[in-house]
């Protein structure tokens, strides 16, 4: 399987382009609107057919490129059904899967960072969005986030994947790019606290609001398009 990890330096966001080399069918995960031209160029250079542009959740820190990619390329967009994004072509839920060539991207509901967070599983890889970071996790203090729910999503769903599953997060702020389920089980400093310690820590992070939350969330409810 072809996999390319792409980075948006303004918001520390990882975008993932996955493709089946034979059929050339592709999926993009968590695109960023300012990086759509870069992504379209890469897709064209590689001769890929982008079938789907999906988001792990309604982001608060950047505007999705999904709607613009749909306009430019004609792909279908998808977010969690529970997010109520009416412009999306697909309302995704647990158990759904998106086929690209001989591969399937399976949808896992992993709420807690937001109430509609999804993770995407493909073979021995999991794209965890903001549910699980490398040695961290997404905050739980807005967009109906909940620390208890996130603890369940991580320990009951993501940690139930095989230990050698590679973890690809939606962000990293320390220059790390990927991890594994086994590594996070052993070394994630938040989750290894156990439920009580995790919830207590998450409820007392006292983080500033993301700079662009009041722009990004409404824009993402419109697939990143101002219409």
Alpha-carbon distance of 182 to 185, in angstroms, equals 5
Alpha-carbon distance of 227 to 225, in angstroms, equals 6
* Residue with Cβ nearer Fe ion (113 or 157): 113
* Residue with Cβ nearer Fe ion (6 or 58): 58
125-129 and 118-122: which strand pairing?
A: antiparallel
Name the residues that contact Fe ion, by CB under 5 A: 59, 130
Question: Would you give the end-to-end CA distance of the chain in angstroms?
Answer: 35
Alpha-carbon distance of 94 to 116, in angstroms, equals 11
* Residue with Cβ nearer Fe ion (59 or 190): 59
- Rounded to a whole number of angstroms, the minimum distance from the CB of residue 220 to Fe ion is 10
- Rounded to a whole number of angstroms, the minimum distance from the CB of residue 201 to Fe ion is 18
- Rounded to a whole number of angstroms, the minimum distance from the CB of residue 62 to Fe ion is 9
* Residue with Cβ nearer Fe ion (19 or 60): 60
* Residue with Cβ nearer Fe ion (26 or 140): 140
- Rounded to a whole number of angstroms, the minimum distance from the CB of residue 84 to Fe ion is 17
* Residue with Cβ nearer Fe ion (35 or 59): 59
- Rounded to a whole number of angstroms, the minimum distance from the CB of residue 97 to Fe ion is 23
**CA distances in angstroms from 195 to 56, 133, 159, 198, listed in the order given:** 24, 17, 14, 5
Alpha-carbon distance of 17 to 14, in angstroms, equals 10
Q: What is the torsional sign of CA 84, 85, 89, 90?
A: negative
- Residue with the closest Cβ to Fe ion? 130
- Rounded to a whole number of angstroms, the minimum distance from the CB of residue 130 to Fe ion is 4
**CA distances in angstroms from 35 to 32, 41, 66, 170, listed in the order given:** 5, 10, 11, 15
* Residue with Cβ nearer Fe ion (59 or 70): 59
Residue 221 structure tokens: 């409810």
Provide the 10 A C-beta neighbour count for residue 138.
24
- Rounded to a whole number of angstroms, the minimum distance from the CB of residue 95 to Fe ion is 23
Q: What is the DSSP letter of 171?
A: B
């Amino acid at each position: 399987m072809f996999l390319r990890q792409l980075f948006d330096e303004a918001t520390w966001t990882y975008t993932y382009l996955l493709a089946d080399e034979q059929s050339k069918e592709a999926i993009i995960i968590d695109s960023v609107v300012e990086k759509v031209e870069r992504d379209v160029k890469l897709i064209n250079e590689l001769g890929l057919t982008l079938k789907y542009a999906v988001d792990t959740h309604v982001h608060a820190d950047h505007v999705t490129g999904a709607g613009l990619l749909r306009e430019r390329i004609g792909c279908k967009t998808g977010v969690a059904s529970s997010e109520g994004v009416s412009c999306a072509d697909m309302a995704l839920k647990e158990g759904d899967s998106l086929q690209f060539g001989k591969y399937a991207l399976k949808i896992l509901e992993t709420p807690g960072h937001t109430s509609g967070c999804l993770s995407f599983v493909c073979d021995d890889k999991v794209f965890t969005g903001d549910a699980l970071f490398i040695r961290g996790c997404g905050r739980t203090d807005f967009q109906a986030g909940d620390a208890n729910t996130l603890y369940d999503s991580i320990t009951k769903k993501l940690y139930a994947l095989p230990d050698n599953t590679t973890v690809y997060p939606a962000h990293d702020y320390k220059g790390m790019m990927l991890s594994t389920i086994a590594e996070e089980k052993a070394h994630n400093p938040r989750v290894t606290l156990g439920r009580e310690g995790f919830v207590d820590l998450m409820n007392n992070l006292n983080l500033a609001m993301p700079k662009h939350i009041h722009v990004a969330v409404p824009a993402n409810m419109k697939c990143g398009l101002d219409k």
